[in-house]
Structure 1
Amino acid sequence: MPLKDVNVIIDLMKPAPKVGLGTPLLLVEAVGTPAYKEYLSLEALAADYASGTAVHAKAQTILAQKNRPAKIAVASFETGAADAALDTFYNRAWHFVLLAENDPADQLDVANVVAGKDFKLFVAQVADNTGREALADKARTVIVDHDVAGEHLDAAIVGDLGSQTVGSITWKFKGGFAGMTGRYLSEAQLAEIEADNAIAYVHKAGKAQLSEGYDATGEYIDVLHGQDFVKVDMENEVQYALQNAPKVPFDARGISLITAAATTTLQRAFNQGIVAQREDGQPSYTIQALSRDQVDAQDRAERNYKGLSFQFELAGAIHRVDPIKGEILV
């Protein structure tokens, strides 16, 4: 039997809460059987990973940020087996994975796993063209181009942005990361980075800020994070409805209960900024629920309701205002 009774599948259609969805996972190479552990503080982590280790350095950067997550997870892997360990621990309560050491081979392995799952995000720090190009077009991999020695921009942005309310922010323009140095890049240098769908921490308009907010395929991080939120939240809401009722009958009463649970998620997503607002001020989503008579008799016999579907329009974000036209009257 499956571990989940509710499964939400979301297709992203394109035209021609701080808990769980912000928790970072640090992958570290170590001898021995892969292990997973969560830490609520840097002091607790230091008992296993002392100051000076790569894990401690990235954890310290994460926890130094203004909007730091409530906890950090660490998973170990044997040499060359980052992908296997990640697969083993994929269903734990984390959402952003980082490597303690930016090894290119491990980065590629992790990127392939995350792309294959189409759920959660990998944030990888690179220092040059070769690093960026190795991860090109990897879905759900955020490539961070940062060559300042000793700085962990991947950890800083996950620590500060990952735990903010899903849908409330876009990652572009964000800055003020503790311990990070903004770079002064020419237009040509930045264009080269962005050609690989990578992100830099660069000075613009007198402020150090992220140059963009997308993954290696060009999809926006807030869209992916929002998609994951709707999936997890709706699965939980429907599961709660099934668990908390003495029985959910396979008729209009039960179908209404499930529909209400799904509506709760979509309304929450609207309030958080994931779902767009229509011109009349109402959220732009729809839910369709087949009646008992419209559902296949075999599905009724197996007690599997397959009649619920929904659509919503993404709120998105404005990333450019170009041009703004003006006139001077004499």
Structure 2
Amino acid sequence: MPLQDVTVTIDVAYPAPRIGLGRPVILAQRTGAGTYKEYATLEALTVDFASGTEAYKKAEVIFKQPNRPDAVAVATYETDIGAALTQYYNRPWHFALVAGDTSADQVAATGFFEDKDFKFLAVQVKDDAGREAVKGKKRTLVFDHNVAGEHLDAAAIGNLGSLSVGSITWKFKQVVGVTPRYVTDTEISAIDEDSAIAYVVKAGRPQLSEGWLSDGQYIDIVHGKDWIKVDMENEVQNVLAQAEKLPYDARGINAIEAAVTTTLLRGFNNGIIAAKEDKTPDFTISALTREQSDIQDRSTRVYRGLNFEFGQAGAIHEGRVTGSIRV
């Protein structure tokens, strides 16, 4: 008997926030058996991780952000960061960070996420070699920052990760406690080619240079997909749990369709789903009737007949304006 009765699968047709969809976990190497603990304040974390530790340094930056998450988790491991990720993957966090910025552990962590389709890894590198080691990795945010003692990865996740999913693009955003860099065209081109993110001065203000993942997908698009999955699973699960019995007929199917519609409308209001020209949400839902459902599914009480599709809102990251002067 599965522990999860409702599963939402979303295929991207190209090639609230809920608790946990912005919460970070800091992966910290420490002698002894692995542990996982959540902290609502930096003071609470200090009991287990002194101010000089790498875990403390990341957490301190996160807690300084104006939009900091409700809590910061720390998971420890002795030698195998992948084992820690496996052990604690189902805990309520959504962004993982690597304390100490150790390249070998960063690479090992990216390997773990290559097999996942949920949650994110954020790493900070300081040079071309660091970017190259994690280039093109799935669900990985790569922050290029070479100012010693600063943690751009923690600042960005801490300030942006817990904002309403779909309401922002990560490009252009500011963070606290990080020195913006004045970079040359050559430097930013190299960073862009590796789909990494820097904190730069542009148009006279500090801002994140881009809002993408290491594989070139945009953070808000993939984060929005995660949000739709979690919210819809919760909505449909609630329908199943709150009914005395959900009949396998039009009544039950309509109830499930209504739950899916609720999530998609919420996703539209959050900015995940696009608006059509008439300003209505750009999504469609189709549902098989009882008679159209497979008889084996009916006998095992599994309904597979509902499908949905939506247009992603995306974001504008560049503008090209053309003008003319009259004589």
Residues 238-317 of structure 1: matches in 2 within 5 Å? 238-317=236-315
Q: 1:186 aligns with which of 184, 187, 197?
A: 184
Please state how far the C-alpha of 1:137 moved relative to its aligned partner: 1.0
- One-letter identity of the residue aligned with 2:145: H
Residues 99-178 of structure 1: matches in 2 within 5 Å? 99-175=98-174, 177-178=175-176
Measured in 1, the distance between the counterparts of 2:258 and 2:31 equals 49
Measured in 1, the distance between the counterparts of 2:10 and 2:215 equals 18
Residue 101 of structure 1 aligns to a residue whose secondary structure is helix
- One-letter identity of the residue aligned with 1:117: K
* Structure 2 partner of 1:36: 36
- One-letter identity of the residue aligned with 2:146: D
Residue 198 of structure 1 aligns to a residue whose secondary structure is coil
Residue 208 of structure 1 aligns to a residue whose secondary structure is strand
Please state how far the C-alpha of 1:244 moved relative to its aligned partner: 0.6
- One-letter identity of the residue aligned with 2:205: K
* Structure 1 partner of 2:7: 7
- One-letter identity of the residue aligned with 2:201: H
Residue 63 of structure 1 aligns to a residue whose secondary structure is helix
Residue 199 of structure 2 aligns to a residue whose secondary structure is strand
- Deviation per CA, 1:230-268: give whole Å up to 9, x if none: 000000100011001111110000000111011110000
Please state how far the C-alpha of 1:312 moved relative to its aligned partner: 0.3
Residues 67-86 of structure 1: matches in 2 within 5 Å? 67-79=67-79, 81-86=80-85
Residue 277 of structure 1 aligns to a residue whose secondary structure is coil
TM-score normalized with structure 2 length: 0.98
* Structure 2 partner of 1:98: 97
- Are the counterparts in 2 of residues 126 and 144 from structure 1 also a CA contact under 8 Å? yes
* Structure 2 partner of 1:329: 326
State whether structure 2 residue 219 is matched by structure 1 residue 221. Answer: yes
Question: Where does the alignment leave 5 or more consecutive residues of structure 2 unmatched?
Answer: none
Measured in 2, the distance between the counterparts of 1:311 and 1:231 equals 13
- One-letter identity of the residue aligned with 1:68: R
* Structure 2 partner of 1:232: 230
Question: Where does the alignment leave 5 or more consecutive residues of structure 1 unmatched?
Answer: none
- Over the aligned positions, Cα root-mean-square deviation in angstroms equals 0.8
Residue 249 of structure 1 aligns to a residue whose secondary structure is coil
Residue 240 of structure 1 aligns to a residue whose secondary structure is helix
Residue 56 of structure 1 aligns to a residue whose secondary structure is helix
- One-letter identity of the residue aligned with 2:246: V
Residue 307 of structure 2 aligns to a residue whose secondary structure is strand
- Deviation per CA, 1:74-107: give whole Å up to 9, x if none: 101111x101110111111000000111111110
TM-score normalized with structure 1 length: 0.97
- Are the counterparts in 2 of residues 65 and 156 from structure 1 also a CA contact under 8 Å? yes
Measured in 2, the distance between the counterparts of 1:236 and 1:195 equals 38
- Deviation per CA, 1:266-320: give whole Å up to 9, x if none: 0000000000000111000011111000110000000000101100000000000
Please state how far the C-alpha of 1:115 moved relative to its aligned partner: 2.3
- Deviation per CA, 1:53-88: give whole Å up to 9, x if none: 111111010010010001011101111x10111011
Measured in 1, the distance between the counterparts of 2:78 and 2:292 equals 52
Moved over 6 A (4+): none
Measured in 1, the distance between the counterparts of 2:87 and 2:245 equals 34
Residues 21-60 of structure 1: matches in 2 within 5 Å? 21-60=21-60
Measured in 2, the distance between the counterparts of 1:227 and 1:47 equals 36
Measured in 2, the distance between the counterparts of 1:281 and 1:312 equals 14
Measured in 2, the distance between the counterparts of 1:130 and 1:64 equals 30
Identity over the aligned pairs, expressed in percent? Answer: 54
Please state how far the C-alpha of 1:132 moved relative to its aligned partner: 0.4
Measured in 2, the distance between the counterparts of 1:115 and 1:95 equals 15
Please state how far the C-alpha of 1:109 moved relative to its aligned partner: 1.1
- Are the counterparts in 2 of residues 27 and 99 from structure 1 also a CA contact under 8 Å? yes
